[in-house]
Amino acid sequence: MRKNTSNKKGQEEMVGFLLVVVMVMVIGLVLIFFLRPKEVEERDFQLENLLYAVLKTSAEEKTISERIEECENDVGCEELKGFLGEITERAFLRAGFIVGENILGYEVNISEGMEYYKSSGNLTGRSRGAATIVRNSLVKIKFYY
């Protein structure tokens, strides 16, 4: 008889141990789900097309992409920065993006090979963006809504 009771106690301990393991696994999965990083920026194909259109826009017989490459070689950076502000704002307007109406704000950023940054409006909240590489420079646009 004693043998039977010790067997039951062992089974009860195993069931208790399995319950603890299952509870720890469930709590771990819940924590992983809630603590994973949130994706702030969503990819937008319309913005990618807009970015490529801006880069292919001609500014005095050279595209913006060609001018970025020249600027990386220290040629015509000031001209390029003047063109970029004007061309990007016109492109945004033609595409229907108006700060204060259908978007809160925007950022245009070129980094690595050359440095350029322009922003307008409220740069908080949800955003959509697009990026590409031109030679050694990372070119990004981001719209906040």
Q: 135 is written with which tokens?
A: 């030679």
> What rounded mean pLDDT belongs to the chain?
84
Q: Does 1 score more than 70 pLDDT?
A: no
- CA proximity to 130, closest of 142, 138, 121, 117: 142
- CA proximity to 74, closest of 127, 136, 6, 120: 136
Q: Does 2 score more than 60 pLDDT?
A: no
Q: Give the CATH architecture of domain 41-144.
A: 2-Layer Sandwich (3.30)
Q: pLDDT value at position 93?
A: 86
Query: Would you list the domain boundaries of the chain?
Result: 1-36, 41-144
Q: What is the pLDDT of residues 34-54, one digit of tens each?
A: 877 665 555 678 888 989 988
Q: What is the pLDDT of residues 12-38, one digit of tens each?
A: 888 889 999 999 999 998 888 887 766
Calculate the alpha carbon distances from 79 to 36, 53, 70, 117 in Å: 44, 19, 11, 15
